[in-house]
Amino acid sequence: MVAHTEKLSEVRRILDRYIVEVVERFDLCPWAKSARTNGEVGIEVLWGEPTADQWVAAGQALIANPKTRVAMVVAPESAITERDLREMRNVVTNGVPGTGVAHFYPTAPLDLASPPRLVPFLRRSPDPLLQLVPLALLESVRGIPEVPDREMQAQMLKGGVPAQRGDVGDMIAETNHARVTADRAAMLAVLDDIAADRQRSYARVGITITKQASEPA
């Protein structure tokens, strides 16, 4: 029987691949690498089909750590749909004040029609997950000429239409759009490789693989 620690290790390994090989390699987030290398990323794995209370409690526990800049609550066995995960994001947002919450989903399609429409693809994580970021973090990002207010920060983290031109969300979205447009073949290849790695490794250690979390976009 595979030990719980081995299952957890595989989930963390697959998530690390996504963070390093996709988010960092393609510069999708301005603070991702520094948060990871400084030990400021908090991760909690929820097994089976987590309840709303479990999602909220995990987020609260991670954000309670003053060192946490980015918190990720991962549900590798969940059969949750993208729509329901979006609703869970709203529940967690209300349950963990002072944070912006974004949902990441494995089957998000590629849509290059505009920067806002690309956002779901940029969050095409190996497993369903919610990312929590203290809203004050955006205010501390260096080199940003105009920092949006908290309401707009929350909208940006949800993937909404960015604020007026020149705001940090607008700048990041446009940069990401240009990068993915130029490197989409390379990015898709990495995402496909990570998905295949996930399929093999989860089957090996006995992690339940759901249809929603494993089917191609």
Q: For the segment 33-49, what is each residue's pLDDT rounded down to a tens digit?
A: 999 999 999 999 999 99
Mean pLDDT calculated for residue range 151-179: 64
* pLDDT-derived band at 164, boundaries 50, 70, 90: very low
Q: Give the pLDDT score at 3.
A: 73
What is the distance between the terminal CA atoms of the chain, rounded to a whole angstrom? 33
Closest CA to 130 of 167, 96, 176: 96
Sole residue written with tokens 């290790």 = 9
pTM greater than 0.85: no
pLDDT at 153 over 60: no
Q: Is the dihedral angle over the CA atoms 114, 130, 108, 204 positive or is it negative?
A: positive
Dist. CA 144–CA 167, nearest whole Å: 8
Tell me the helices (H) and strands (E) count for the chain, helix number first.
9, 4
Q: For the segment 22-31, what is each residue's pLDDT rounded down to a tens digit?
A: 999 999 987 7
Q: For the segment 65-103, what is each residue's pLDDT rounded down to a tens digit?
A: 999 999 999 999 999 999 999 999 999 999 999 999 999
